[in-house]
């Protein structure tokens, strides 16, 4: 662990306290939970998910940032914190709590009864989620969704480093082994199949309550992407204000600020903000792996999505 002296890792403390009670993906070389049939990050526990489904009181003005892991969630959280009155040094994770995480893991999540009391700022609140749309926890007709998709090859490589760096997962495999897990429809990975995740949200992309963005477009045109987010949630910002947010949320600027996840990563792990580029997967994986990934995209996705931007 890389925390300061005396730092108690809330995730490992949670895990040790929990033992092996959680339902896990069987015969998996990664320590992975299962809730309602979906493989989940192990600290996304059933009681929290059920509380979210049954007790969470949605309000008009709630927006969920939804992604498959490693697709630009944290930078999106860092952007929207400015829409709820936070400033550059405020913690992005708490400005849009990940309510699927057990509230017993503080610093990331909050109990649902506390979430229900979090006041809106100018009518807006934000939450983070990795859930699929068909049974999303915020099925309430009041919430909106910002969905961010990223090239699956880049997601795969970033995800590999992510899992290797968190001791909780207990994963000793190499990138080739991980690639096979990714290709196997994520049966043993947090939140399942990348294809299913992106494909299901893509079908919702034209709905009024969904803003579908690509991570690659956020890199190419951060100003345009942030403007779309602001307009979507009714944040009335001048061009100068948007420029300020672009600058504050660039990879280089975000790197200067501490991010909680690095405190609970292994000492030798890659930093949570690792490279922040497009194309890393293509450069890292073998030609054969890239071909197999592309063939699966063509078989799974139809039309526009099959060609963009992972072909």
Point out which residues bind ligand A3P (CB under 6 A).
Answer: 67, 69-75, 154, 158, 161, 249-251, 254, 273-276, 280
Q: Closest separation between CB of residue 6 and ligand A3P, Å?
A: 27
For residue 56, give the nearest of 107, 17, 113 by alpha carbon. 113
Please identify, using beta-carbon distances, which residue of 62 and 154 lies nearer to ligand A3P: 154
* Both structure tokens of 184: 């196997």
Q: Considering the complex, what minimum distance in angstroms separates the CB of residue 282 from ligand A3P? A: 12
205, two tokens: 């992309």
Active-site option among 130, 136, 161, 197: 130
By beta-carbon proximity to ligand A3P, the closer residue of 104 and 275 is 275
Is 91 in contact with 260 (CB distance < 8 Å)?
A: yes
Structure tokens at 207: 């709905």
C-alpha distance across the termini of the chain, in Å = 38
CB atoms within 10 A of CB 49: 20
- CA-to-CA distance for 216 and 107, rounded, in angstroms? 28
CA distance 107 to 191: 21
- Smallest separation (angstroms) from ligand A3P to the CB of 233: 19
Residue 24: which of 45, 9, 50 has the closest Cα? 45
**Cα–Cα separations (whole angstroms), residue 62 to 92, 148, 226, 250, 261:** 16, 17, 18, 25, 25
- Tokens 């063939």 identify what position? 295
User: Rounded to whole angstroms, how far apart are CA atoms 84 and 287?
Assistant: 44
Q: How far is the CB of 197 from ligand A3P (least distance, A)?
A: 12
- Judge contact between 126 and 65, C-beta under 8 A: yes
Kindly report the CA angle at 162 between 158 and 165, in degrees rounded to 5? 140
130 tagged catalytic? yes
**What's the rounded Cα separation, in Å, for the pair 207 and 209?**
5
Query: Least CB distance from residue 278 to ligand A3P, whole Å?
Result: 9
Strands 33-35 and 144-149: unpaired
**Closest distance between ligand A3P and the C-beta of residue 311, in Å?**
19
Nearer to ligand A3P, 48 or 71 (CB): 71
Residue 255 or 298 with smaller CB distance to ligand A3P: 255
Select 51 or 70, whichever has its Cβ closest to ligand A3P. Answer: 70
With respect to ligand A3P, which residue has the nearer C-beta, 77 or 102?
Answer: 77
- Exposed e or buried b per residue across 216-239, where buried means at least 16 C-beta atoms within 10 angstroms of its C-beta: bbbbeebeebbbbbbebbebebee
Q: Which residues are catalytic?
A: 130
């Amino acid at each position: 662990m890389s925390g300061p002296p005396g730092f108690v890792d809330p995730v490992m403390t949670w895990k040790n306290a929990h033992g092996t009670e959680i339902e896990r993906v069987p015969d998996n070389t990664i320590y992975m939970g299962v809730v309602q049939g979906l493989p989940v990050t192990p600290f996304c526990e059933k009681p929290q998910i059920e509380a979210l489904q049954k007790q969470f009181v949605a309000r008009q003005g709630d927006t969920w940032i939804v992604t498959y892991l490693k697709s630009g969630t944290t930078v999106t959280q860092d952007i929207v914190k400015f829409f709820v009155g936070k400033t550059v040094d405020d913690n992005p994770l708490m400005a849009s709590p990940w309510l699927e995480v057990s509230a017993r893991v503080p610093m990331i999540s909050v109990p649902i009864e506390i979430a229900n009391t979090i006041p809106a700022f100018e009518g807006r609140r934000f939450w983070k989620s990795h859930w699929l749309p068909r049974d999303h926890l915020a099925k309430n007709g009041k919430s909106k969704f910002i969905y961010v998709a990223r090239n699956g090859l880049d997601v795969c490589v970033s995800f590999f480093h992510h899992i290797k760096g968190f001791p909780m997962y207990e994963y000793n495999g190499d990138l080739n082994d991980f690639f096979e897990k990714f290709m196997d429809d994520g049966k043993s990975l947090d939140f399942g199949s990348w294809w299913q995740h992106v494909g299901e949200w893509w079908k919702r992309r034209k709905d009024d309550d969904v803003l579908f963005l690509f991570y690659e477009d956020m890199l190419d045109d951060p100003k345009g992407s942030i403007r779309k987010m602001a307009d979507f949630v009714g944040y009335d910002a001048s061009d100068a204000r948007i420029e300020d947010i672009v600058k504050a949320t660039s990879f280089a600027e975000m790197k200067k600020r501490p991010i909680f996840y690095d405190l609970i990563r292994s000492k030798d792990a890659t930093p949570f903000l690792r490279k922040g580029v497009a194309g890393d997967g293509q450069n890292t994986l073998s030609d054969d792996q890239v071909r197999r990934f592309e063939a699966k995209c063509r078989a799974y996705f139809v039309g526009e999505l099959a060609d963009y931007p992972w072909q």
